[in-house]
Chain A
Amino acid sequence: MRKTLDNLPSRSSPLSLSMRWSNFQRRYAPYIFVSPFFILFLVFGLYPSLFSLYMSFQSWTPSDGWGRWKYVGLDNYTFTLTDPMFWRSMWNTIWLGVVSGVPQHLIAIPLAFVIHMMLGRFKTFVTAVYFLPYITSSVAIALIFNTLFATHNGVINLVIAHLNTWPLLGALLPDQNINWFTSANVKYAIALVVIWQFTGWNVLLYLSALQAIPKDLYEAAAVDGASRVQQFRYITLPLLRPMMFFAVSLTIIGNMQLFEQPFVLLNGGASTATPGGQTVTMYMYRTAFEWLEMGTAASIAWILFIFIGILTYLNNLIFGRAARGVD
């Protein structure tokens, strides 16, 4: 770098304007071209993150105005980590993460395999259909499910009531309308919405991974007399591992940050079912914007960040190593 700079004519030497311009371009244009990302990242990524880290050591009520904060050390962290409401929402989040996360993959992998193997020209159409929920607004989805889950005239309860009249199945089902919006039941409602919304996304991920598996492996297996199930078990699953690692990581991160679906289903936290369905991010939102405890909310964000980091690391231990082993 030094050398190129030395080779350039010094500033004082008489240079034509166009030469100077082209020198300037050569030297700085690349920086200008890459700058939008860095500017956006600094403004909307790094700055808020660092600010929230700073805020997590302060006590601040935003309605007091800018700058009226007070250093409190680790108080916010000790408060949050000993807060029963935080732990309840953490438990809700983990419960939802597992109950809505695991089925997504258990459904998506075989489904992707079936779509990949069988459907031929309908593949694109079917994939698009499964993907549709993913790109639909979460708020719209939650509003629709709110209507479907309604206690007295919701379609889901009407279906259950109808199934009740069937001989064998009826015995297994409750004979009264289920109130989905009680503290105990609302978790299942939220999990169902999340599974419905994100399974298609995982199908797409697994499909793309399946397409990368060489066809001749299957052909060779078929020649050796392996059945479809055996092919799935011994070829597809092991080769899907890297994608499983990636997809499960995304699910962990997404589910730990679950917000819109419970927020809208619980009427923004105004519902009486709130304690049973409140996730960590909802709790953080309420701490910040309803109780105006910005410092505490920032500490919740950082605790959640660390927690997601640990889970991703564990996931890496389980899937990641195996994935690398196969590679």
Chain B
Amino acid sequence: MKQALFLAFLMLFSLGLTQRTTLTVAVFPNLDDALKAQLALFNKKYPNVEVKLVIQQYADHHNALTTALATGQGLPDVAAIEIGFVGRFAEGQGFEDLNKPPYNAGQYKRLFTPYTIAQATSFDGRFIAMPVDIGPGTFFYRVDILQKAGVDPRNMLTWPGYIAAGRRIKATTGAFLIADAADVAWINIFATTPANTSPYFDEKGNVIVDTPRFVRAFELAKNIRAAGLDARIGAWTNEWYDAFKKGTVATQFSGAWLQGHLQNWMAPETKGLWRVQHLPEGMYASWGGSFYGIPTASRNKALAWELIKYITTTNEAQIAAFRAIGAFPALLSAQNDPAFSEPVEFLGGQQARLLWRDAARRVRPLKANKYDRVAYEIVGTALSQVLDEGKDIPAALAEAKRLIERRMR
């Protein structure tokens, strides 16, 4: 009897051992907060899966991931990838192609905001990561400053109108129109990209950074700088946060996620003073977004896929992330949740999520290119040469084109 009990205990114990699996997930802040909320739900369904989080700062996370991919050592089972890196990882060979069995992710693609699928697809058609959140681009403005200056935000929906309003705001309230004129150039570059191409390359892979699209974007930024309407403050600096707190900057173009950041830590005391509207001239752009992929070296691919499927394709998981950090769901069905029509108190009770959803559905799909990151930095350099050093726009863009072409060896 005793022996039988012992055997039974041993069997149960070993069963528990074999079933309890540990899955490592590498993630960066504050996506980890979203993930923790999702894991609580995931573990209800899969109580025997222990998920170990490896959390590193944004840049460190992607550096570590690059190093791990290079050596094939120390890779997590699931890796979070931010939009800035997904194109490069897609062009590499380090992630599983989710189009193939056993994943067969093709069946899920229609569930997501369309442009996210293109972002995670390589030039040769491999699909390396599932989208989890998106950042539809919007136009944030300080309603108190605009009112003081007597500016109607609707008059800011053309770029000339935007600049004219900026002059009035500066003259009457002393506030700057925008933190950095470069943001206006960027939103123009992204939002005017034709469908299914990269912002910097045409469908044949030719560099197109000297086209009128870029010239116009640069001109707008230069006009704003020349009129002294931008505070010349770089994003993610203490001065940037301070400008939002003190209201020395009247507008900001950004992904929908800026609302979460403003509310949670950047400028919580400005609650009720912000509003959002669509970008000028009917532009729509994606501003950020996160993905989850499975490194080829992962040892728990089946389970990794279960986890990714759960957090990306179930409404409850997407809504949990949305509630935790305001991460805008990439999953279309989650965007129909009643939570979306709730007023956002931080934005003075505006039904902003409906606006963002509308924007997200109108964003054209872009194609990732291996050299996107290089092009982004070279164009950024050209832009600061134009804005800070007074370089001629066509010359700066021609130079940028040449520099990008040199790198495409």
Contact = CB atoms under 8 A, between A and B. Distances in A.
B380 interface: yes
A182 interface: yes
Interface in B223-257: 231-239, 242-243, 248
B314 interface: no
A273 B72 contact: no
Interface string B62-85: 010011011110000000000000
Interface string A291-313: 11110000000000000000000
A289 to B, nearest CB: 5
Contact of B92 (A65, A83, A275, A293): A65
A151 B232 contact: yes
Size category of the binding interface on chain A: 35 or more
B238 A150 contact: yes
A183 interface: yes
Interface stretch (A25-33, A105-113, A242-250, A264-272): A264-272
A84 B403 CA distance: 8
Given A83-B406, A291-B374, A182 B63 contact: no
Contacts of B70: 62-63, 65-66, 294
Contacts of A182: 232, 384, 388
Nearest to B59: A268
A79 B237 contact: no
A270 B69 contact: no
B93 interface: yes
Nearest to A76: B409
A62 B91 CA distance: 11
Interface string A59-85: 101111110100000010001000111
Interface string B88-101: 11011110000000
Given A151-B231, A182-B388, A65 B94 contact: yes
B232 A179 contact: yes
Contacts of B384: 182-183, 272-276
Interface of B: 59, 63, 66-67, 69-72, 88-89, 91-94, 180, 182, 231-239, 242-243, 248, 296, 373-374, 377-378, 380-381, 383-385, 387-389, 399, 403, 406-407, 409
Q: Identify the 4 closest CB pairs spanning chains A and B, nearest first.
A: A63-B92, A62-B70, A272-B384, A182-B388
Interface of A: 59, 61-66, 68, 75, 79, 83-85, 146-147, 150-153, 179, 181-184, 267-276, 286, 289-294
